Structure 1
Amino acid sequence: MVIVNSTMEDIDKLFELYGAAASYMREMGAPSPWKGFERPVVAGEIEEGRQWKVIENGEIVAVFLTTYNDPHIWQEKDEDPAVYLHRIATHPGHRGKGYVQGIVDWGKEHARANGKKFLRLDTGAGNERLINYYKRCGFNFLGDVYTNSPALPAHYRGGTFALLEIVL
């Protein structure tokens, strides 16, 4: 498993994996906070070096995004030095192979290397299956938060999110 930055050539694959992940959440009966993504926003994230891909045997098997602040969701906790993981999506044919745990392990090292004290993520509130999965990956559940900030991308507006973190 190798984790490297995504490139503009990967953008269609990113959207394919996001769509597959949203469909999977719906199939599982879980609420999905993903309401569609704006292509220019994702392109900007790629250009900023915040979109990542997990490569196994030459194939993109998972993707995710990093950021160093998330004030509209994490509110006052955003003042803490943290790396935030967003939009983890695993290829449907590769679920259950430990890629999310690999992303979490990479995220912890990435956070430490950047002088951060927390690794954080959020997911749709009420998605107990996914929340419990993240807990098994080492995250602690902190509670839920509602946000409707117009400063957020459209896919996050008007949602309630479960907050999870690992103290490094």
Structure 2
Amino acid sequence: MQLQDFTIRNTRPEEVDEFIDILEEAAEWLHSNNIKQWPLGMFRNPASRASMLTGIANNQYFTIDYHSPSSGKGTGVGEAKTEIAGLFVTNYDDSFDELLWKEYLLTRGHDWKDALYLHRLVLKTPYQGVGLTPKIVEFVEGKVQESGRHFLRLDCLAGNERLRKFYRTRCRGVGKGGLEELETVWNPDLGMEFARFERQVVPL
């Protein structure tokens, strides 16, 4: 399994239910490990599904495909197979990002909308640990440049120290390091504390 076996593309509307299934599986894993982030069933409600379809139509939802060669049964003929390995979302002006970032960035003289926000990055278990996150981060950095914005930003639960360390030190790949970790912020609506990360992709 090599990185060149993976490609990133826009999610198609007919894939929304598979997208939801992947997110719900991730929510169940988090729940089983006592990580309170995504309530079970939150992605299956009609409002959430409608929001996803809007995001897909706006080219904010992305699918990671794995292309694996497999031999034909008894024929010896190679046949390419494609499977969904994971997914992620990019936001431009989501109210959640505004809540986590706007006030803090005003104190630094920055506009919270001058960024792409990476969310809901989920990789299926067989595809974890193969270096896909740096590939995704590089892809989103390219989208930052295309959009005319300057920053890539993301967040995670403050209590997930393992993930925070990964974002700080290794999420951009070997020899490239990670993102700058900023102050944590408490979200009163969710009753959770979030760690925030950013990278300036384009000079101001």
TM range (shorter): 0.7 to 0.9
Distance, in Å, in 1 between the alignment partners of 2:150 and 2:36 is 28
Distance, in Å, in 1 between the alignment partners of 2:28 and 2:133 is 18
Within the candidate set 75, 94, 97, 2:102 is matched to: 75
Q: Is the 8 A contact 1:62 1:99 kept in 2?
A: no
1:120 Cα deviation after fit: 0.6
* 1:98-137 equivalent positions in 2, closer than 5 A: 98-135=131-168, 136-137=170-171
Q: Deviations over 1:98-137 (max 9, x none)?
A: 1111110101111112222111101112111111122221
- Counterpart check, 1:32 vs 2:32: no
Higher relative contact order (CA 8 A, sep 6+): 1
The alignment's TM-score, normalised by the length of structure 1, stands at 0.85
- Counterpart check, 1:147 vs 2:187: yes
The alignment's TM-score, normalised by the length of structure 2, stands at 0.71
Distance, in Å, in 2 between the alignment partners of 1:32 and 1:167 is 29
Q: Is the 8 A contact 1:20 1:92 kept in 2?
A: no
Q: Secondary structure at the match of 2:159?
A: coil
**Would the alpha carbon gap of residues 130 and 42 (structure 1) be closer, same or farther in structure 2, given more than 3 Å must change?**
same
Q: Secondary structure at the match of 2:89?
A: strand
Identity of aligned residues (%): 31
Within the candidate set 25, 39, 44, 2:54 is matched to: 44
Distance, in Å, in 2 between the alignment partners of 1:128 and 1:146 is 16
Instruction: Structure 2: give runs of 5+ residues left out of the alignment.
Output: 1-5, 68-81, 172-177
- Counterpart check, 1:64 vs 2:88: yes
Distance, in Å, in 2 between the alignment partners of 1:133 and 1:24 is 19
Distance, in Å, in 1 between the alignment partners of 2:144 and 2:7 is 17
Task: Report the number of matched residues.
Answer: 160
Root-mean-square deviation (Å):
1.8
- Counterpart check, 1:92 vs 2:131: no
Distance, in Å, in 2 between the alignment partners of 1:20 and 1:139 is 27
1:164 Cα deviation after fit: 0.8
Distance, in Å, in 2 between the alignment partners of 1:102 and 1:25 is 24
Distance, in Å, in 2 between the alignment partners of 1:21 and 1:143 is 26
Q: Deviations over 1:1-32 (max 9, x none)?
A: 21111112111221122122223334445x33
